[in-house]
Every structure is written in C-alpha cells, then in structure tokens.
Structure 1
Amino acid sequence: MDRVALVTGGAKGIGRGIVLHLAAAGWKVAFCDTDRVVGEQLAASAEHDELCFLPGDVASEADVERIVRETVAWAGRLDAVINNAGIAGPENGPVEDLSLEQWQRRLDVNLTGPFLVTKHAVPHLRATKGAIVNMASTRALQSEPDTEAYAATKGGIVALTHALAVSLGPEIRVNCISPGWIDTRAWQGDAGSVEPLSEEDHLQHPAGRVGTPGDIASLAAYLISPEALFITGQNFVADGGMVRKMIYED
C-alpha cells in the first residue's frame, strides 16, 4: 500500500525539495502552497500520479480543512505531515516599527498554520500510526538584530513539537527540524541562472559547505520512516555545525 504524505509550502524551496525526495522514494505526496502557478507546474512534472497540488493558505482553517480532506480523498489515507509552510524572510526592521499586523501575519502562517494542519490531520494519522515533522529554524536558538517575529514563531514551533509529541504519542510521533543556511535559490520555481556562492560562504561552516534542500529532505524522510520509531519530541539542528561555532568580530 502506498504511503501518503502531505507537505505544506511544497511548491518552492525546502518544501519543494521534500516533495521531490519523497516522490522519488515511492511516496504519494500531496502538497499545498499559495503559489498556484508554480504548484501546478510542479504537479504537472510528475511522471505518474504521485503528486497532487492543493492550493491554499495554512493560516486559513477553512483552507486547511479542505486540503486535508482532499488529500485523504485523493490517496485514501495519510501517513505523514511535513509542516513546512512559512514566511521565510527573518528581518522585520526595528521592533519599535514592527506593526501588529506584520507580527500577527508571521504568527498566523508560521505557528498557527502548523497547529491547524496538525489539528485536522490527527484523526487520519492516528489511523495509520503516522508521523509529523515541523520546520523550525536555528533562529529559534540564536538571533541577528531585528528578527523578533520570525524568531518567536520558530521558538514556538520547537515548543509546539514537544507538546504535541507528549499529547499524541504513542500513536503519532512528532519531531522538528531546525535548518541553518540552506541555499534554495535554484528551488524557487524560477528557471533563471543562480550565481554560485563564494568559497567563504561555504568554508565558514564546520561541515565545509552551505546546506541544500536535499539535506533537509533526507532528514525529514528519515524522521517519518519506520527506522525512526523510537524518536519523538526532538528538534534536529541541520546547519553544518554553525550553532556550535563561536563567532567574534575581529
């Protein structure tokens, strides 16, 4: 029987990498995104019927309910959810200029979205003893100036993950991934050329390079696999070692 995953924010970036990785591994993958054009293009690129694009906004409970319902109608079951959708740019400007509307929109998409998807997916995941992976960020652990809204949502994701793991276990496992610098420029649904990163960009990482969407996709695939049945409630940092590196200005 086919395993079925739902990936939010799956048309571009890390989400796109996860969609393609899971499909190549034999999963049937439904994915949602607010970018209808790029999402439909990705779904149309599938060789068979392994991909299903469902447009929608994870900050809308009506959209989320429909996306989960249509995923199960399409595939007959649901084995895994990857809560990847989010507003990616971390900078919000000086906190004294940050509007409540901007703050709230980040929370709605980055934190409330995963809650809503989980809420509606749980009955189906219980039936399959499935798994959830939430996408946090190393910015839950460290910060640059003027990133309060983004950092708050990603810190919330880490806490939401362990709370859900305790509430939903043992039937459903819940983990999260905190990516560092992942070069998604070639994965944004744009066929344009991408300038290579510099040697300095790569060598500042203890691992020797900047991350790729494939690095995150392979970790997500492991966490929803039978090989990870003893792992739940954890935050996996995938950043080439950067959060373990002391950095001081010269």
Structure 2
Amino acid sequence: MSFTDQVVVVTGAAQGIGRSVAEAYALAGAKVVLADVQEAEGAAAAASIRHEGGQAIFVHCDVRREQDIQELFETTVKEFQQIDVLVNNAGVSRWKSPYELTVEEWDDVLNINVRSCFLASREAARHMKKNEHGGAIVNMASTRAMMSEPHSEAYAASKGAITALTHAMAVSLGKDQIRVNCISPGWIETGDVSKLADTDHAQHPSGRVGVPSDISRACLYLSDPANTFVTGTNLVIDGGMTRKMIYED
C-alpha cells in the first residue's frame, strides 16, 4: 500500500501504538503529523522518522482542549496543504473501583478518549471534504468495549462510545467520501515482548500476544484509498481472545 502524497495526522503518536502507526505511514510514503501532549517524546519520534528519510513534524496537542485540536489541523494544512487520513489514537485509562472513581476522573477519561475523537474527526473532515478523493478516519477503540475486567468502567464506557461514534460518523460523512472505521485491539505489548511468559502467548488462539505493528498494518488497510467499500466497521485485532470461551474449573 502506497500513501505517497498523502498527509496523515496521528494523535497520541509519541510512543507505543501511535508511534508505530506514524512510522508505518511514513514508511509507506506519507507526510506524517505526530500530535501528542508529550513534547520531548513526540519531537524525538518525528526526528527519528526524518532520520530514516521520511517526512514528519511534531505538533504539541492536548486533546482535552478544543483549541489545541483546531490548531493542530490549522498547522497541518499550513505545512502540507491538505489532510487525507486521521488516526485518533490518543487515549488514557483509569483503573479504579467504581466506588472511588471521581466525577473529575470519569470526565477526564471520556474527554480524552471520546470527545477528542469527535472534535478531531470534525475538524479533519472540514478539510477532507475539499479533497477530490475525500479521506479516511481510523478511531482506536478496544476489546474492552465488549468485555471487561474489574474497575474499568470509565475506560470501557469510552471505548464503547468510540465504536458507536464511528458508525454514526461513517453515515454522516459518507456523502463527502470520508470513510470512518475503528480498530479494537486486544493485548498489544508495547514494551519488551521477550519478557512475557509462555503462558501469556499460549492463552491466545493466535499463539502470541499482539505487537504495535499488528495495529499499524490495520490502519493502513482501513485508510487505503482503494478500500472505498470499507466504512463504519469495527476491526477486532485480539489474537482471537474475544471468540474464546473461558471457563474456570
């Protein structure tokens, strides 16, 4: 898949999955804008891409702030004249008992994970609709929208909301040739995979824990300009875990 002459914005791109996604697009020929609240890490990620011959800039963006999001896309258009792909990857979790989770913590998770996803998509779409070919938006949901561990209420709610927002915006923006899809990752190890136990891998029907490049490839697929029939979908990438029946002895 080639993204030559395409301009891609990735939020939460300073590290982990977001950085891997940004690197994958750059390798495929895109001009990439890495957005994150972590300035040092984000700037280093963009510099690394440029060192490898790619085109990339870093823009500081706190996705809790509407003005920051608006300025992100203004900067992108000023630098690269257009926007073709947006990957809404920025997110945060709070693992806390529902008896103790404060309304401020709840709001922070929902604002970072969901509200920013809507605001960024809205601002990106304003520019994408001007393109002859439209554009593509990929939102990062989670298998926790469908299954949970204790004390994950805010995170689960936010990811469930992202899946719903995805199909709603796919319908609303389809007339402008803007496709909107989401990805629900399972266990994606962003650290040292070699430190995982054999049992960690063995519990997955795929035989292994996921890595960031598994998600990067999915982003490329969902935003490939040739895949015009793919919109409104939630692509689950979890090594088969959500299809596995688990019973305790």
TM bin, normalised by shorter chain, reads over 0.9
The 5 Å alignment of 1:143-222 reads 143-170=148-175, 171-185=177-191, 196-222=195-221
Shift of residue 90, structure 1, vs aligned partner: 5.1
Q: Which runs of 5+ in 1 are unaligned?
A: 187-193
Measured on the aligned residues, the alpha-carbon RMSD in Å equals 1.2
Shift of residue 59, structure 1, vs aligned partner: 1.2
The 5 Å alignment of 1:235-250 reads 235-250=234-249
The one-letter code matched in structure 1 to 2:109 is R
Moved more, 166-175 or 41-50: 41-50
The one-letter code matched in structure 2 to 1:145 is P
| Residues 129 and 135 in structure 2, CA contact (< 8 A), matched pair in contact too | yes
Greater RCO (Cα-Cα under 8 Å, separation 6 or more): 1
CA distances 1:172-223 after superposition (whole Å, capped 9, x unpaired): 000000000000125xxxxxxx752111101100011000100000000111
Shift of residue 237, structure 1, vs aligned partner: 0.2
| Residues 90 and 151 in structure 1, CA contact (< 8 A), matched pair in contact too | no
Give the fraction of aligned pairs with identical amino acids, expressed as a percent: 49
Shift of residue 96, structure 1, vs aligned partner: 1.4
SS at match of 2:226: helix
Q: Which residue of 2 aligns with 1:115?
A: 118
Does the alignment pair 1:19 with 2:17? Answer: no
1: CA distance between counterparts of 2:87 and 2:45? 17
Q: Which residue of 2 aligns with 1:134?
A: 139
Aligned residues: 241
Shift of residue 145, structure 1, vs aligned partner: 1.1
Q: Which runs of 5+ in 2 are unaligned?
A: none
Q: Which residue of 2 aligns with 1:68?
A: 73
- What's the TM-score once normalised by structure 1's chain length? 0.93
| Residues 56 and 64 in structure 1, CA contact (< 8 A), matched pair in contact too | yes
Shift of residue 227, structure 1, vs aligned partner: 3.0
- What's the TM-score once normalised by structure 2's chain length? 0.94
1: CA distance between counterparts of 2:145 and 2:154? 11
| Residues 130 and 173 in structure 1, CA contact (< 8 A), matched pair in contact too | yes
The one-letter code matched in structure 2 to 1:108 is N
The one-letter code matched in structure 2 to 1:179 is P
2: CA distance between counterparts of 1:239 and 1:5? 25
